[in-house]
């Protein structure tokens, strides 16, 4: 069921569904209750339809809160961006699975208008936000349905990356845009101006500390014929910590202040009003058109697939190797959400052509290579390829290429046929 923002002055009604389909955001979302009419946010202007300052008595009132521990969220008197308090999120590698993943996030309802502004100030304390070579998401726009978020702001190796999956980017390949280094121990003030669209009229503009660092036109969401309208999430989501796994770090703490949603008439000034940030923009990046799939050569190797592995996309664990003519009895294996990895040397890209009960053509530009895609660091997606709707017979053709985007020299294709039941 959809819960929508009705107008400028009314409080939010809550929705319920998610992207945890991790970056994947393969997330299971449950409905939240209706929103309390009392808001903890202070009015900024008529164009601001939500404003959370963390100073009221009904923080996140009516929103879907995905907090698995008592310390997942709280308020803090220091640091603050404006006023006496800020919101504090904490996530640990030992935390229980919440809504399908290791997360401490807040989910906003589906918007009634696909032209929106979003904003917040975020603070990363160096003592509790050490560099990690594995990715996490701190903000995302998710459309449910077992897909990756249509837009996600990720952090990896202390750098911000904006990620738009192939199905939402309209280019046939996932786009990962580096927008600069993370500034720690200071406030980073973000504003996002988004015209959510699966067509050429889409727009994504990102401002950091008042300076535009990205402008991207073109498709930035999945078609509404196959997914719900985008729902915004803020907090921390780190899928590599699922099932008690860990990475370079064991703890993430960050602070948010002035979390806002603006209508289509909002301005950068309205989204950014408040105390001045002392931080400065680092390494700005700007793009005026949809980012094309990269064409630089990664390697000249076009080695063909040597074998195939069934992967449980819920746990990101290998289940079994299989080959041509195999029958995958997923019920007996205990797998509901799955993916298939082609085992091969690192190449420029790999094109998957799946036909059968479901059809999919997908080019994976980063190792490892999987028919439903992955984040490149052990997080496998499943799309809508899950039981029982995925049962049936399939033919899978896998072709390596020397360059990204299925370009350059094509290697030897491998074709297998298998049955899923």
Average pLDDT rounded to a whole number, residues 79-86: 94
Under a CB-based contact definition with an 8 Å cutoff, are residues 150 and 142 in contact? yes
CB 143, CB 230: distance < 8 Å: yes
> Average pLDDT, stretch 110-122?
95
Confidence of residue 6 (pLDDT cuts 50, 70, 90): very low
Task: Supply 256's token pair.
Answer: 């948010």
| Residue linked to tokens 């696909």 | 114
- Bridge partners of 233, per DSSP, are 107, 140
Q: How would residue 46 be classed by pLDDT, with cut points 50, 70 and 90?
A: confident
Please name the helix (run of DSSP H) or strand (run of DSSP E) that holds residue 408, with its range, or none: strand 407-410
Question: What average pLDDT does range 393-404 have in this prediction?
Answer: 93
Indicate whether 383 pLDDT > 90. no
* Contact by Cβ (8 Å): 198, 224: yes
Report the pLDDT value the prediction gives residue 302, as an integer from 0 to 100: 61
Check whether 28 has a pLDDT greater than 80: no
Q: Which pLDDT does position 272 carry in this prediction?
A: 83
For residue 274, the model assigns a pLDDT of 59
What percent of the chain clears pLDDT 90, i.e. is strictly above it? 63
Q: Does the pLDDT at position 403 exceed 60?
A: yes
The per-residue pLDDT of the chain, averaged, comes to 83
* 254/22 Cα distance (integer angstroms): 20
**20: pLDDT strictly greater than 50:** no
Arithmetic mean of pLDDT, 130-157: 93
Asked if the model's pLDDT at residue 244 lies above 90, the reply is no
Which tokens sit at 122?
Answer: 């975020």
Segment 28-53 mean pLDDT? 57
User: Greatest CA separation found in the chain?
Assistant: 65
Measured between its terminal Cα atoms, the distance across the chain in Å is 30
Q: What is the pLDDT of residues 363-382, one digit of tens each?
A: 998 889 999 998 877 788 98
Mean pLDDT within 255-270? 95
On the question of pLDDT at 1 being above 80, the answer is no
Higher pLDDT, 55 or 280: 55
* Distance, CA of 242 to CA of 238 (rounded, Å): 8
Give the pLDDT score at 310.
94
Cβ neighbors of 164 (< 8 A, separation 6 or more) are 150, 151, 152, 174, 175, 177, 204, 220
- The C-alpha atoms of residue 217 and residue 288 are separated, in whole angstroms, by 7
All structural domains of the chain = 21-272 (2.60.120.200), 307-420 (2.60.40)
The DSSP letter of residue 98 is B
What is the sign, positive or negative, of the torsion defined by CA atoms of 54, 85, 87, 44? positive
pLDDT of residue 286 exceeding 80: no
pLDDT at 287 > cutoff 50: no
Contact 393, 417 (CB under 8 A): yes
Identity of the highest mean pLDDT range in 54-63, 162-171, 195-204, 295-304: 195-204
pTM: 0.63
pLDDT of residue 305: 86
Which of 41, 35, 65, 63 lies closest to 54 in space, CA to CA?
41
Residue 276 reports pLDDT greater than 80: no
Per-residue confidence (pLDDT) for residue 291, from 0 to 100: 36
- According to DSSP, the β-strands at 159-164 and 407-410 are unpaired
Mean pLDDT for the stretch of residues 167-194? 93
d(CA 178, CA 162): 7
pLDDT at 292: 36
184-240 pLDDT, tens digit each: 999 999 999 999 999 999 999 999 999 999 999 999 999 998 889 999 999 999 999
Residue 191: what pLDDT?
97
């Amino acid at each position: 069921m959809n819960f929508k923002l009705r107008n400028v002055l009314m409080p939010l009604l809550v929705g319920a569904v998610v992207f945890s389909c991790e970056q994947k955001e393969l997330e299971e979302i449950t409905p939240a209750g209706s929103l309390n009419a009392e808001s903890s946010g202070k009015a900024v202007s008529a164009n601001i339809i939500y404003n959370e300052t963390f100073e009221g008595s009904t923080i996140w009132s009516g929103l879907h809160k995905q907090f698995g521990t008592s310390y997942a969220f709280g308020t803090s008197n220091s640091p603050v961006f404006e006023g006496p308090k800020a919101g504090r999120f904490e996530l640990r590698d030992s935390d229980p699975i919440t809504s399908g993943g290791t997360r401490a996030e807040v989910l906003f309802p589906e918007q009634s208008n696909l032209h929106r502004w979003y904003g917040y100030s975020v603070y990363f304390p160096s003592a509790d936000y050490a560099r990690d070579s594995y990715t996490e998401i701190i903000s995302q726009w998710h459309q449910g349905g077992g897909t990756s978020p249509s837009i996600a702001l990720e952090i990896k190796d202390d750098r911000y990356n904006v990620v738009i999956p192939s199905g939402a980017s309209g280019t046939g390949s996932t786009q990962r845009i580096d927008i600069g280094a993370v500034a720690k121990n200071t406030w980073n003030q973000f504003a996002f101006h988004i015209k959510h669209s699966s067509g050429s009229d889409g727009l994504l503009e990102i401002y950091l500390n008042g300076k535009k660092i990205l402008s991207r036109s073109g498709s930035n969401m999945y078609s509404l014929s196959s997914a719900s309208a985008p729902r915004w999430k803020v907090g921390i989501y780190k899928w590599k910590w699922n099932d008690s796994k860990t990475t370079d770090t064991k703890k993430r703490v960050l602070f948010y202040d002035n979390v806002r949603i603006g209508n289509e008439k909002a301005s950068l000034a309205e989204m950014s009003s408040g105390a001045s940030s002392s931080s400065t923009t680092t390494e700005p990046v700007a793009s005026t058109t949809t980012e094309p799939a990269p064409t630089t050569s990664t390697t000249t190797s076009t080695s063909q697939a040597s074998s195939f592995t069934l992967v449980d996309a819920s746990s990101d664990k290998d289940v079994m190797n299989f080959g041509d003519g195999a029958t995958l009895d997923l019920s007996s294996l205990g797998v509901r959400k799955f993916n298939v990895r082609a085992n091969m040397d690192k190449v420029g890209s790999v094109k998957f052509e799946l036909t059968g009960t479901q059809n999919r053509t997908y080019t994976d530009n980063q190792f490892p290579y999987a028919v439903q895609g992955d984040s490149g660091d052990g997080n496998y997606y499943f799309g809508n390829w899950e039981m029982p709707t995925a049962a049936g017979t399939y033919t899978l053709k896998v072709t390596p290429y020397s360059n990204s985007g299925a370009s350059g020299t094509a290697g030897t294709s491998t074709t297998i046929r298998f049955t899923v039941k």
